[in-house]
Chain A
Amino acid sequence: MIEIGYGTVSPVRIGEKLPLAFIGGPCAIEGRDHAFRMAEQIGKICRQVGLSWIYKSCYDKDCRSSPDSFHGIGMHEGLRILADIRAEFGIPVTSDFSDPAWGAATGEVCDMVQVPAYLCRQTSMLRVAANTGRPVHLKKGQFMSPWNMKNSVRKLEANGCEQILLTDRGTFFGYNMLVNDMTSLPIMARTGYPVCFDATHSIQLPTSMGNISGGQREFIPCLVRAAAACGINALFMEVHDDPDNAKSDANTVLDIKYLENILIQAKIAHEMRLEILDKLGEDNVHPGK
């Protein structure tokens, strides 16, 4: 079990047989007003559905395909906005950081620091993430096997971090294509840390549109149900109130009008899974037997 939230915010506990937690928000912090508006709207939906949640939005998108794409609002301004959101709404916040030099400042504000999937095995990134003292959200690289994520986990542990959330966001299948291997969830869970499914990046078609990524967001609901049935502790989705004009990941972010429905489905699937395991016992089919 990990606990996300310091100071005055309501901490979110993730793991074991706890209720499903939600991590979400617009991919990039586009501006103060938009960030606050999204926090208010998503928070309202999470309260209605009955899910605890963590606001996620990034101040610097260093992995854009094109030099002309929106890169972010910048670390200082972005972290100020996140700090104000956590103070205003009393919820934990998180952002990724793409440069080891940004880690300490990110950890000073954010309740959880996120290591981007592309950088998930970089020792300097993991050392800095661990040194923030905050829980670390570690995304499985699209190029990584789920079992090899143990090496990255060990790097975090070697630097004193034992509050880790492991997330699957799809796996490269040839060029410009991701597939979702749900077995990655129980495999990563064997590390002993909670696992999360990133439904909006999982449907991404990386850089499939020449200089930006595409996405098949019509598959988000079924993948959410599949992941929750398979076994997750948290669900991650990027959400926007105007996807067509989102400044980052416009082809994958979920329109907020669908959020409540999908969160309800996720919550029900999660609770049904726990009920099934409670009634029929834990999975007990062993390899080779």
Chain B
Amino acid sequence: MSIRESEMLVGDVMLSPDRFPVVGQRTLLKEALEEMSRMRIGIACIVGQDQQLLGILTDGDLRRMLLKVQKPFSAFFADDALDHAVTSPLKVLPGDTLLQAVRLMDEKRVWDLPVVGEDGRLLGLLHLHPAVEALLSTDA
């Protein structure tokens, strides 16, 4: 089967929430960055009660912030991570095809897509590396 015919779904490949940074809505920016460093992934998903996805914070967001924010680092670190998050991020459903999701990642130039249920709860993260690996294995 070629990559173009792959029927794999996002839900087959996504990382479960224990394998990428998931932080609460009152997590400080500094704590979120520590979690991203600890898990070696450039995105943190911020969730509210019931695991509703409230926003995402990425390495790219941080880079842009560093060039823009004028306040002292100590104040920046003490902000809530959610203050600096993208609150309407691109996201996919677990039932979406992997091919569609990877095309979306290519089009939007992003490395990660949060995976949410119909009710908005965070279910996982589609990370580019395992997604590509899964598609390439289809081609083998």
Contact = CB atoms under 8 A, between A and B. Distances in A.
Interface of A: 145, 147-148, 150-151, 154, 187, 287-288
A265 to B, nearest CB: 31
Interface stretch (B35-43, B54-62, B70-78, B93-101): B70-78
B68 interface: yes
Given A151-B78, A287-B70, 17 more contacts: A145-B72, A145-B74, A145-B75, A145-B78, A147-B74, A147-B75, A147-B78, A147-B79, A148-B74, A150-B28, A150-B78, A154-B26, A187-B75, A287-B68, A287-B71, A288-B68, A288-B69
Contacts, number: 22
A224 to B, nearest CB: 26
A63 B91 CA distance: 55
Nearest to B72: A145
Nearest to B26: A154
Interface string B20-32: 0000001010000
B66 to A, nearest CB: 11
Nearest to B74: A145
A154 B28 CA distance: 11
Say which size band chain B's interface belongs to: 10 to 19
A64 to B, nearest CB: 31
Q: Is the interface of A mostly helix, strand, loop or mixed?
A: loop
Lowest 8 A-B CB distances belong to which pairs?
Answer: A288-B68, A147-B78, A147-B75, A150-B78, A148-B78, A145-B74, A287-B69, A288-B69
A148 B28 CA distance: 11
Contacts of B70: 287-288
Contacts of A288: 68-70
B54 to A, nearest CB: 16
Contacts of B74: 145, 147-148
B137 to A, nearest CB: 43
22 contacts: A145-B72, A145-B74, A145-B75, A145-B78, A147-B74, A147-B75, A147-B78, A147-B79, A148-B74, A148-B78, A150-B28, A150-B78, A151-B78, A154-B26, A187-B75, A287-B68, A287-B69, A287-B70, A287-B71, A288-B68, A288-B69, A288-B70
Contacts of B71: 287
Contacts of B28: 150
